Amino acid sequence: MNKYFLVVLLSLFMQVAKVAAAPWQWSVEIKELISEETNTHPSAYLWIPENCKQVRAVIIGQHNMTEETIFEHPEFRKNMGKLGIAEIWITPATYYIKQ
């Protein structure tokens, strides 16, 4: 392996990260809790499908392993939009939080 290969590989990862990033319309810091993992307040992020007239359900996930990747995946969001399902993502996960 040479330096050029590593540069190309790093460039590809950076491009994938740009494509994979998805917007969250709202976020709020959960000031009542402190994460033992980060010693800061966790944040909750909300996404509501574009052109959604009525939210029919909300799916909630916490930062554990792959939840953010799944929630931000274009195909997943497309299907959630068709169903009128909003998303809430909390990071860091609340099971690491003490009150």
What b/e string do you get for 44-72 counting C-beta neighbours within 10 Å, with b at 16 or more?
A: bbebbbeeeeeeeeebebbbeeebbeebb
Q: What percent of the chain has pLDDT over 70?
A: 74
In one-letter notation, the amino acid at residue 1 is M
User: Is the distance from CB of 53 to CB of 82 less than 8 angstroms?
Assistant: no
Q: Taking the CB of residue 34, how many other CB atoms lie within 10 A of it?
A: 16
Q: What is the mean pLDDT of residues 32-54?
A: 91
Q: What is the mean pLDDT of residues 26-39?
A: 89
What local confidence, expressed as pLDDT, does residue 97 receive?
46
Q: In terms of pTM, does the model score above 0.75?
A: no
Q: Report whether pLDDT(26) > 80.
A: yes
Q: How far apart are CA 20 and CA 8, in angstroms?
A: 18
Collapsing DSSP states into helix, strand and coil, what is residue 65?
A: coil
